Amino acid sequence: MSLDSYRTLGRSGLRVSPFALGAMNFGLAGGWGASVEESERILTTYLERGGNFVDTANFYTNGHSEAILGDFFAARPGLRERTVLATKFFGNLFPGDPNGGGAGRTAIRAQLEQSLRRLKTDYLDVYWLHNFDRHTPIDETLRTLDDLVSAGTIRYVGFSNTPAWYTAQAETIARLRSWAPVIALQVEYSLLARTVEGELVPLALDGGMGIMPWSPLAGGFLTGKYTRSGIGDSKRGAITGGPSEAQHEVIDVLAAIASEVGASPSAVALAWLSARPGVTAPILGPRRLEHLVSNLTAFDVQLSADQVDALTAVSRPQLNYPYDLNQATGAMLQFAGATVDGTSSSVYPPLLEDATRY
């Protein structure tokens, strides 16, 4: 597999690379990130290797990320049309202006105009709602986005970081009213962040939404630089104190399997994630070109079934109610010892005594 082994994004006709390039680190606002020159080297390498999916957001590096992308494509006529370009709305760049962010009609249109100006384009391929807006009716958000799809200003709609109940409500309303559907979800997902498997992943699988994991390397925790003997030179490690004991258990197994297959921990972690049900395109967020080149070696990783099982088992999340209850008792209560669709069950203990005495 390679970056030009394209996949359709959710239940849509949009073809995208199996890894998206995230531009959150493009720009130096805030004192960290990649310079314009390094950002362009990363972009060039990604696109030359067949990548076609570039993702950013309006407030990344205070808008500089979008501006870097806009200048890059403007200087290369014809390349923009071959690239799936996505950005997000929600973040407010105007302190004190209550309508500067969020998912209301006025805010969406204003944010879109600003993003299009910075990106130097007249349309977006995917426009993401970046967070849950509890202050705006969902129909207002959906109708506004549908109007923009009808106008051709955006092509597809995606949600990011939204609760499952809200996302399900939005998808149901959109389909009942024949509005533009939600074709994909951007969610935090990695070997160290699997709670999305409780509600959001089943929702995406049922609704035909592509899953795009962000932070697939858990902010660097899965790169191999974090060991029990130290945290390297990572800024995140210096702030957080490094991985917890439970996280180290996952990292230890990851490192062992990486050694077995002769690959980096990053590549193994990305290979495992790419093969998870429903995952379309994990988002790589390199700050340096070597990060991107290293991450793309994930295409060369071949994990055995035992290695996949080991990673899956050690990273298994503790999911909350009602997932835990359904997993523990669902098959036992409904199948009473039978096997259905490959799921076997035990017999509910009271039935072992006398199931017919009443």
Mark whether 60 is an active-site residue.
Answer: yes
Q: In whole angstroms, what is the distance from residue 356 CA to residue 99 CA? A: 65
Query: Residue 81 phi/psi, 5° resolution?
Result: -70, -20
Containing H/E element for 111? helix 105-119
The rounded distance, in Å, linking the Cα atoms of 284 and 286 is 6
Beta-carbon contacts of 264 under 8 Å, excluding residues fewer than 6 positions away, are 223, 224, 258, 294, 297
End-to-end Cα separation, the chain, in angstroms: 61
**Residue 80: partners with Cβ closer than 8 Å, 6 or more residues away:** 73, 74, 121
Catalytic residue among 60, 127, 189, 226: 60
CA–CA separation, 288 and 270 (whole Å): 18
**What is d(CA 121, CA 76) in angstroms, rounded to the nearest whole number?**
12
CB 280 within 8 A of CB 9: yes
Q: What is the DSSP string of 219-262?
A: GGTTSS--BTTB-TT-HHHHHH-S--HHHHHHHHHHHHHHHHHT
Q: Which of 197, 215, 162 is nearest to 55 (CA)?
A: 215
**Residue 337 to residues 51, 200, 271, 343, 358, Cα–Cα distance (Å):** 49, 30, 36, 10, 20
Amino acid at 9: L
Non-local (6+) Cβ contacts of 4 within 8 A are 17, 49, 50, 51, 52
Active-site residues, by number, are 60
